[in-house]
Amino acid sequence: MKTLTVSVVTPDGPVMEDTYDMVVCRAENGELGILPEHIPLVAPLDIGDVRLKRGNDTDHLAVNGGFLEVRPDKVTILAQSAEKPSDIDVTRAEHAKERAEQRLQSHQDHIDFQRAELALKRAMNRLNVSKF
Ligand code: ATP
């Protein structure tokens, strides 16, 4: 059976590279499932849980934006940040969530509101992925 090499890179350096059967991720315009021999594609990624499937196992990564590049035998994710569940600091994410919620409750200008919404989304994604 054909596989996909998946490579994940952030500004801090490479996060992982391994082979999988399927990649499922959230692009900005919806959920994408990538199997080997997919047509070449570049798509902007949303903040979300990237699921990497091999047999009955699924690895998870908390990914914060960036781009997905698909070639028939390779998927490259270039993300602003990407953490494996074991690398997520749950206390830090809980604090980030609380800070963002407080900012959203206070009356701030539009830009700060958008920033707080994104910070909340990142924190909630990390808390969700940390459970795997
Ligand atoms: P914080 O307010 O806690 O910094 P943030 O969402 O603003 O959270 P980012 O700007 O997305 O943080 O990430 C900055 C760096 O910190 C990245 O390298 C990211 O992987 C890392 N990081 C952020 N939050 C966590 C966390 N809870 N656990 C592990 N690494 C984290």
The whole-number pLDDT of residue 110 equals 72
Distances (CA, A) of 41 to 31, 69, 74, 76, 93: 14, 6, 11, 11, 32
Expressed in angstroms and rounded, the spacing between residue 20 Cα and the centre of ligand 1 is 26
- Residue minimizing CA distance to atom 19 of ligand 1: 81
Q: Whole-prediction pTM value?
A: 0.95
Residue nearest to atom 2 of ligand 1 (CA): 96
Q: Which atom of ligand 1 is nearest to the CA of 95?
A: 3
Computed on alpha carbons and rounded to an integer, the radius of gyration of the chain in Å comes to: 16
Residue with the larger pLDDT of the pair 108 and 64:
64
Probe residue for ligand 1, chosen from 83, 101, 120 as the CB with the greatest number of ligand atoms within 8 Å? 83
Reported as a single tens digit per residue, the pLDDT across 23-34 is: 999 998 899 999
Domains and CATH numbers, the chain: 4-83 (2.60.15.10), 89-130 (1.20.5.440)
